[in-house]
Amino acid sequence: MSMADRDGVIWLDGEMVPWREAKTHVLTHTLHYGLGCFEGVRAYSTANGAAIFRLKDHTDRLFRSAHILNMKIPFSKEELNEAQCAAVWENNLDEAYLRPMVFLGSEGMGLRADNLKVHVMVAAWSWPSYMSPEAKEIGIKVRTSSYTRHHVNITMCKAKANGNYINSMLALNEAIASGCEEALLLDNEGYVAEGSGENIFIMRNGVLHTPELTSCLEGITRQTILDFAGDLGIPVKERRITRDEVYIADEAFFTGTAAEVLPIRELDGRVIGAGKRGPVTEKLQAMYFDAVKGKLPQHSDWLTSVKS
C-alpha cells in the first residue's frame, strides 16, 4: 500500500487533515536541501489501551534537533505531545509507528533559507516490526560499511536531521546488496559508530560496552538499555570500540525505536559468540518488551496513554 494512499488523518500545522490531502508543494525547501528534523516514535498495545513509549523524551529530542538546525518550532512541546496521541487515537490504532517532522516551506529557494515558514506534521500508521520475529531471536547478519559515519566537523550529529540519513541509506543498501540485513558504520578514525539507524552494544567478559556519542545520535532506546543495565547491576562502559572487538564479543545487539533490541549473530562473515541471541541480550530484550507493554511498574512513567 502506498504511504500516500491510505484512509485516516494526519496532523499538519495544528489541524487534522484527511490522509490523502496532507500535501506540500514540490518546491518545498526541505524536499530540495534536506534541512529538517524528525523523530521515530512507537505506540504499543497495553492493558490500558494504546500508549506511546517515552513520548516526552522523543519530543524533547525533536526540539533539540530543531534548535541545533536553527528552526523555531511554532508549537509547544505539550501541543506536539497531544498531537502524537491524537494521531494514534484518531486513526484507531492499537500499535503504531509515529513520524513527527519539522520542515521548511516553499516561500523561497536557495541555501540561505531566509524567511521560510516552519511546518510540523505528525503521522501514525500500523507497522508491526522492523525485523521478523525470527530475527529478534536468532539475530541478523551485518556488514561493516565502506561509508564513514558523519562526524562533528561535517554535520550536526546530535540532530536527527533529514539530510543525515542519506549516509544511512547508502550504507544500508550496500549491506543488503551484499546479502546482509544491516550495516555497521565506523567513524572518521575507524572506530565503531552505529548502525544505519541504530546504536550498538557488545557484551564481553561480563561488561556491557557501547560507543561514546561523538559520532552517534543520542538514542532513546540506547538510554533505555543503559537504565536496564543499571537495574540489573550489569557494569557498563561507554568508550571507543574497534571493529575486531565486535568480532570477538560474547554478544552484540542493535537498539533503536524501529529495531527495538535486535541481536547480531554475524559481522563481516565472523560469527559473534554462539551465533545467536545471547543470554544478556535476551534478558534486556525481554525487559524492553515488558516496558513497552506496561509490564514494568518501575518504569510506568515511560508510557503515555493516547486516550483523549
C-alpha 302/C-alpha 155 separation (Å) is: 30
CB 168 within 8 A of CB 128: no
Q: Helices marked H in 208-267 — which ranges? A: 220-232, 243-247
C-alpha 79/C-alpha 85 separation (Å) is: 10
C-alpha cell at 8: 485516516
Q: Of the residues 160, 237, 293, 295, which is catalytic?
A: 160
C-alpha 253/C-alpha 47 separation (Å) is: 28
Our CA dihedral for 50, 51, 52, 56, rounded to 10 degrees, sits at 150
Q: Is 160 a catalytic residue?
A: yes
C-alpha 145/C-alpha 253 separation (Å) is: 17
DSSP letter, residue 80: H
C-alpha cell at 183: 550495516
Q: Which pairs count as long-range contacts for 43-47, CB under 8 Å and 24+ apart, including other chains?
A: 43/88, 43/93, 43/95, 43/96, 43/97, 43/98, 43/124, 43/306, 44/95, 44/292, 44/293, 44/294, 44/303, 45/94, 45/95, 45/293, 46/293, 46/294, 46/303, 47/294
CA distances from 269 to 23, 99, 144, 211, 246 (A): 44, 34, 10, 22, 12
The phi and psi torsions of 287 (rounded to 5 degrees) equal -65, -40
CB 241 within 8 A of CB 247: no
Catalytic residue numbers, as ranges: 160
